[in-house]
Structure 1
Amino acid sequence: MLQLKNVSRHFGGLKVLQDVSFAVPSGGIFGLIGPNGAGKTTVINLVTGLLPPTSGDIHFQGRSVVGRAPHEITHGGIARTFQNIRVFKEMSLLENVVVGMHGLLKYGTGGLLFASRGFRAEERRARDRARELLSWMKLDHRADEIADNLSYGDQRKLELARALATEPKLLLLDEPVAGMNPAEKTELMREIQNIQGRGYTIFMIEHDMRFVMGLCEQIAVLNFGRIIAQGGPEQIRNDPQVIEAYLGRDDEEVPA
């Protein structure tokens, strides 16, 4: 579904990414891991159009997204969450999710100004879909509460529901369990698996190795801006370069 082909990104003389190539298969959960500063978030920023690559190409469903604006990429079927939670804390959960549907609602300025029948129908449809997405995250019973009342973990789930509101084919998760406690991580792992089961493709970057190894079917490892390994969890867990670069040296215990 997503393919990076020899992608590099330089900031002046700083080479953040160098000839990065990997493919995210349709319908799977793909993980990109690596130490701090390896360039993982830069990869997501390139895929979503926030940054252009210095060289190389990025294909989504067989077509290049290089040069396309972020909103065009979103409308094309790619959604993302962020490392730092970005919810509208003074809005209700329902309103937060409906905001994600803004580009999909089918009414003109006239319909908005005069509250036409078409406008009202679209609003009902959006709210019904928002409640459905909140139910996926087990938050529908709190739909009318303001987002600021939610725990940290539930705000993460709300952000996921809002990303799904754009009707993506590919969901990008930037460190989805950062700051979560173990119980919240376990719950979110189940929710992500449920999202995949509904037909979505997921590409995530994450530091929590137990989370990545327990969830991702394929993993690529980024170190100093280069891909040093790719494969399934067992292959990555036992790769000598990965052990030294990310998990520790050979004589240290590798997380299960």
Structure 2
Amino acid sequence: MLQLKNISKNFGGLQVLQDVNFNVPQGGIFGLIGPNGAGKTTVFNLITGLLRASGGAIEFDGADIGKVAPHKITERGIARTFQNIRVFKEMTLLENVVVGMHDHMHYGFGSLLFNLGGFRRIEAQARERALELLSWVRLDHKAGMLADSLSYGEQRKLEFARALATKPKLLLLDEPVAGMNPAEKTELMTEILNIKQRGFSIFMIEHDMRFVMGLCDRIAVLNFGRIIAEGSPDQIKNNQEVIEAYLGKEDAE
């Protein structure tokens, strides 16, 4: 579904990524892990068009998206969440999710201006779909509440629902359990598995090794801007180079 081919990224004289190669398959959960500063978020920013690669190619569904604008990448079927929660706190949960649908809500300016039937029908359909998505993450009973009233974990789930509102083929999750307690992590793991079972493909970056090992079908490891290992969770956790990257060579020995 998603292929990174020999991707490199430089910021001036600093090389952040070097010859990064991996494939994200359709229908599973793929994880990218690595120590702080390894370049994981840079990879997400390249995929979503917020940055341009210095070299290499990024292909999604067989098409090169390396120079495609971020909103066009969303239209092609890639959605993301961010490490720092970015919900609209002064809007209701329902309104937050409807915002994610606007690229797919087609009505004329006149219909909007004069509140005509076409506009009302499309808005009603959007609200119905938003309630459905909120039910997927078990927040539909709070649809009319302000997002600011939610707990941290609930705000993260609201972000999931809003990302799903863009009709993605691939959902990118940027450190989804950052700042969560163990109970919230367990609950969010269930929500991610539910999303996968509904037919969505998921690509996540995360620091919590236990969380990643419990969810992902396949994992790639990034260290100092290059991929040092890729494989199943069992292969990754027993890889000596991965152990050294996280613990340091002396501690690993």
Q: Give the alignment's TM-score, normalised by structure 2.
A: 0.98
Unpaired runs of 5+ residues, structure 1, are: none
- In structure 2, what residue type is equivalent to 1:137? V
Aligned mates of 2:98, 2:129 — CA distance in 1: 8
Distance 2:98 2:224 in 1: 39
Q: CA deviation at 1:90?
A: 0.5
Task: Say whether residues 1:68 and 2:68 are aligned partners.
Answer: yes
2:157 partner amino acid? K
TM-superposed CA distance for 1:114, in Å, is 1.0
Q: 2:123 aligns to what?
A: 123
Q: Which amino acid aligns with 1:8?
A: S
Structure 1 stretches of at least 4 aligned residues deviating more than 2 Å after TM superposition? 247-253
Unpaired stretches in structure 2, ≥5 consecutive residues = none
Aligned residues of 1:243 and 1:250 also touching (Cα < 8 A): no
For the 8 Å contact 2:75–2:166, the answer to whether it is kept is yes
| Separation of aligned partners in 1, 2:151 and 2:22 | 35
Which residue of structure 1 lines up, in the alignment, with residue 238 of structure 2? 238
How far off its partner does 1:246 sit?
Answer: 1.8
CA contact (8 A) 1:173 1:202 kept: yes
Q: What corresponds to 1:4 in structure 2?
A: 4
Q: In the alignment, what sits opposite 2:164?
A: 164
Shift of 1:252: 5.5
**Structure 1 residue 108: Cα displacement:** 1.3
1:15: Cα distance to partner? Answer: 0.3
Q: What one-letter code is carried by the residue in structure 2 that aligns with 1:151?
A: S
Pairwise CA distance, 1:161? 0.4
1:204 partner letter: M
Q: Which residue of 2 aligns with 1:92?
A: 92
How many angstroms apart in 2 are the aligned matches of 1:20 and 1:252?
25
The residue type equivalent to 2:150 in the other structure is: L
Distance between the aligned counterparts of 1:24 and 1:156, measured in 2? Answer: 23
Query: C-alpha distance in 2, partners of 1:127/1:108?
Result: 19
CA contact (8 A) 1:49 1:70 kept: yes
Q: Deviations over 1:153-188 (max 9, x none)?
A: 000000010000000000000000000110110011
Query: Equivalent residue for 2:77?
Result: 77
Looking at structure 2, the residues matched to 212 and 100 of structure 1 have their Cα atoms a distance apart, in angstroms, of 27
Given the two structures, how large is their TM-score scaled by the length of structure 1? 0.97
Q: Tell me: CA distance 1:42–1:115, structure 2 relative to 1, closer, same or farther (3 Å).
A: same
**Matched residue type, 1:123:** E
Give the stretch that moved more between structures: 112-121 or 222-231: 112-121
How many angstroms apart in 1 are the aligned matches of 2:111 and 2:232? Answer: 51
Secondary structure of 2:38's match?
Answer: coil
Task: Give the whole-Å Cα distance in 1 for the aligned partners of 2:125 and 2:210.
Answer: 39
Give the structure 2 partner of residue 49 of structure 1.
49
How far apart in 2 are the matches of 1:250 and 1:232?
25
Query: Cα offset for 1:249?
Result: 5.0
Say which SS state the counterpart of residue 90 (structure 1) adopts: coil
What is the aligned-residue identity percentage? Answer: 73
Cross-structure match for 1:33 = 33
Post-superposition offset of 1:116: 1.2
C-alpha RMSD of matched pairs (Å): 1.2
- Counting matched residue pairs gives 253
Q: What code does the residue aligned with 1:78 have?
A: I
